[in-house]
Structure 1
């Protein structure tokens, strides 16, 4: 097995704790999956191949590599008849809905951030939406908080939520914890999530895989979806 992003940070003592407490079991896939793409927006990745500092929240090439995997998984999900959901994180240009987040970060009043109605807040056209996909706005890190997502999943009989997008340590992580709290089998697509800071990405993957989700390679997820499509 290839080294996972978090393996280099674990000591022998850490591994012993994991083994003794039996963390990290596989929950596996269910029969009714949905793909949930978190904040795959222009402000998160900027322009492909351009690193001019314009987008202050961009994850850059790391983000674009993940976006290509998101596109691959979205295609496989649609082919399998699985619903595809996209969240968009947007804020009022005047900051009226930023809430406590505004105490940790300045409101960036610029076109290349996540202000409502600006290019930065747009969903990446490389990903969709396509007919049948659902796009909704969220105002907090979790895709569940204050949104209709739970009702969408219940209505479609979903038992497995495959999470992609960014950022791993922020909105992906918050969404995964809520998905697990609602007792969905929760799958994090390893190469299809991204973050600005590598150590945040690695430790967040570890924390999710340890207790709340399965961190799974995209090849395995595609194989699962193709199996559903064929079955």
Structure 2
């Protein structure tokens, strides 16, 4: 069995909690309706049961956004609301998905978790051959992670019902038309059935 890591992408309070500066605008409702947190937690538990690494990825900036890179409007919206500041509630994870001692936590300042981070080096250190992806947003961090993983020669699996975007049509287009070009797209149940059957 190839060495596998589970990447939990941007499932942080700012985006998915009703008190988050982004989540409070409605996205948390979609996350709740899709049961993303319990479904991802179930995969996390299955991975841990076979000692597969669990890696948490988050977006976080220093106060004043002195380390920000992008000049696009999406970052301007974050700055206007003071979102994603390191050390604050928004860059932490929900209790159901909190990192455990020994877990890797990668903080990024861009859409891709590989840009200007040590993520790829960590995967190489642990001899990872396959990455399994879950998180938000489907058309942004999940997409960019799948593309880099595929370009790097990794096997990539995307759990379609463990991902979401604010626009459901954009999410569906991503999992139906785009992500299959860079990954194996499957459901949480299909993945767990296969994973749990492996020795």
- TM-score w.r.t. the length of structure 1 is 0.77
Equivalent residue for 1:97?
67
Corresponding residue to 2:8 among 37, 41, 58: 37
Q: Is contact 1:208-1:214 (8 Å) kept?
A: no
Q: 1:53 to 1:185 in 2, by over 3 A?
A: closer
Corresponding residue to 1:157 among 127, 146, 161: 127
1:60 aligns with 2:28: yes
Q: 1:53 to 1:182 in 2, by over 3 A?
A: closer
Aligned-partner Cα distance in 2 for 1:104–1:217: 29
1:210 aligns with 2:177: no
Instruction: Specify the structure having the higher radius of gyration (Cα).
Output: 1
Higher fraction of helix: 2
Equivalent residue for 2:110?
140
Equivalent residue for 1:125?
95
Equivalent residue for 1:72?
42
Unaligned runs of 5+ in 2: none
Aligned-partner Cα distance in 1 for 2:174–2:9: 15
Q: CA deviation at 1:207?
A: 3.5
User: C-alpha deviations, 1:123-150, integer Å up to 9, x for none?
Assistant: 2221121233211211111111111111
Residue aligned with 1:100, SS: coil
Q: 1:78 to 1:186 in 2, by over 3 A?
A: same
Unaligned runs of 5+ in 1: 1-29
RMSD of Structure 2 on Structure 1 (CA): 2.1
User: C-alpha deviations, 1:100-128, integer Å up to 9, x for none?
Assistant: 24544421343xx3122221111222112
